[in-house]
Amino acid sequence: MIFLLFSLQYSNEWVLVKTPDTTNLNGLKIIKHLFGDWYRVKLPSGADALKFSESLKKSKGIEDASPDYICKALMVPNDPYYEYQWNLRKFIKLEEAWDIAGGGSPDIIIGILDTGCSFEEYPVPDNEKDNVIGNSYHIYDDYNKSSFVEGYDFVNEDEHPNDDNGHGTIVSGVIIEATNNGRGVAGIAFNTRVMPVKVLGYDRFGKVSDLSRGIIYAVKHGARILNMSLGNTQDVGILRDAVTYASNNNVIMVAASGNKGTQGVYYPAAYPEVIAVGAYTYDSLNDTLLLASYSNYGVEIEFIGPGGDIIDSDTILVYQQGFRPYIDKYNLAILDTVHYYGLTGTSLACPHITALCALMLSVAPELRPEDVRHVLINTAQDFGLPGWDMFSGYGIPDFQEAVRTAYFLSHFESLNDILTIQGDFGNEKTSGASVLSTGNFWLTRDTSYILPVDLKLINSAGQVVKEFTLHETYNLSIEKSGVYFLYGSGRAGIKLIVTR
């Protein structure tokens, strides 16, 4: 099935402008009158349609302006079981996000800290044969070898982090299962890559020391995001230090809240640096969502994702390709039974949010963890009680809006695009101009830019005079006369001149 959708590609020849009086265009060339008060207006040479239209909106007499976005056909994946993936098809607007980001970028590496992944054909080592049924680990036919990068097994201390349980394979499948290949089911960020880091054994248990080492390993080996569909009730120093290390290296961390249905979010999800994810399920009879009965809750919860549930006869699972998973010590995992298995839990909700973060970084790789979190909060669909609540956090992420916003933010190239400055001589800043003042400057963040802006004021000797964060407005006072430069968020700066 295909249908039409607006993507974030647009004409580089003109913008669309709505104005009741064409004199408000101040000499801009009208290419064509469309209907009513709408016109195609020629884009000035070298200008970006997105940024130019945003600046036009601030002009007197301009009611609206936007790029002329390209309308194109969006292909729904041809994976035959995609129609059963309620978790991808309903409520989160994934297909619309794919139209912006595709399946993401292979430059984005996601560390999966779990029971391992099914990523290679490899004989089961002698020391692991009692833990699994089968003679060889496999990569199954709905996965691409290129979707995996080198990882490590901290349970068996080797370089083959194969899955002997089934949990890690299904978790990774949510993110990178091969998509639109006419086989099986789809993944979300299917063009990104996964780093298998085995920190849980065949029975889904593991040591916090191995988890901590796994975090350090993944960060040192290039992971931009960590998925941790696991947890424990204790705040342990070694884990806290590992999480701090990842945070200090600008790595996004996403973790499951826990499956007891009680108050108390598990660690590492409970750490403030980690995005804590609970779960919701789908009521197929009433076509609506419900908070999953097992989803742990608390003050740390930020979002909920699709985790499924079993309610009476209504069985709602998250399906991915894998082998028959471990059930108990009498029913070990069977490696040769490839099938599409379904699980429930916050473990399954977690990789949905991880995959969304991967799509966001794919279109805006410069975003920091705090930027990604800020976008997710500002674009989430409220659920349950109005506003944030301890059961659903900020709600259900809107994949389309989160990816669109990330893309949009990445197109602000200079501070001139995201803030205005006035000096106390009354001369408002214009693009590329210096701002003159006797020492007082008023900074205002553009309303179309939703992130806080970290700024540095540097003097002509290259010394940092002041560091501050612009949220909406800020009064900057400079005591000494001279030439200063304002820099921030990796963007081209603005010259400030103080004369007293």
Residue type, 441: F
Alpha-carbon dihedral 285, 289, 290, 294, rounded to 10 degrees? 100
What the block records as the tokens of 55 is: 């600046």
By DSSP bridging, strand 193-198 and strand 109-114 are parallel
What the block records as the tokens of 14 is: 């003109």
- d(Cα 281, Cα 316) in Å, to the nearest integer? 7
Sort residue 274 into left (φ over 0), alpha (ψ -120 to 50) or beta: beta
Residue 190: closest CA among 253, 143, 140, 120: 143
Give yes or no: 392 in active site: no
- d(Cα 421, Cα 428) in Å, to the nearest integer? 6
3-state SS, residue 89:
helix
Largest Cα span, the chain: 83
By DSSP bridging, strand 301-306 and strand 314-316 are unpaired
By DSSP bridging, strand 252-256 and strand 2-18 are unpaired
> How big is the chain, counted in residues?
500
Give yes or no: 7 in active site: no
Alpha-carbon distances of 341 from 27, 97, 103, rounded to whole Å: 63, 26, 23
Give yes or no: 221 in active site: no
Residue 302: closest CA among 373, 394, 378, 231: 394
- d(Cα 140, Cα 119) in Å, to the nearest integer? 8
- d(Cα 349, Cα 360) in Å, to the nearest integer? 18
Residue type, 229: S
3-state SS, residue 231:
coil
**DSSP string for 391-403:** TTBT-B--HHHHH
Q: Determine contact, residues 43/146, Cβ cutoff 8 Å.
A: no
- d(Cα 52, Cα 56) in Å, to the nearest integer? 6
- d(Cα 264, Cα 284) in Å, to the nearest integer? 29
* First and final C-alpha spacing in the chain: 68
Distance of CA 223 to the CA centre of its chain: 14
Count CB atoms within 10 A of the CB of residue 429.
22
CA atoms within 13 A on the CB side of 454: 6
Among 53, 212, 229, 347, the one annotated catalytic: 347
Among 99, 138, 153, 167, the one annotated catalytic: 167
Among 114, 309, 398, 417, the one annotated catalytic: 114
What the block records as the tokens of 282 is: 């789908």
Hey, which residues are catalytic here?
114, 167, 347
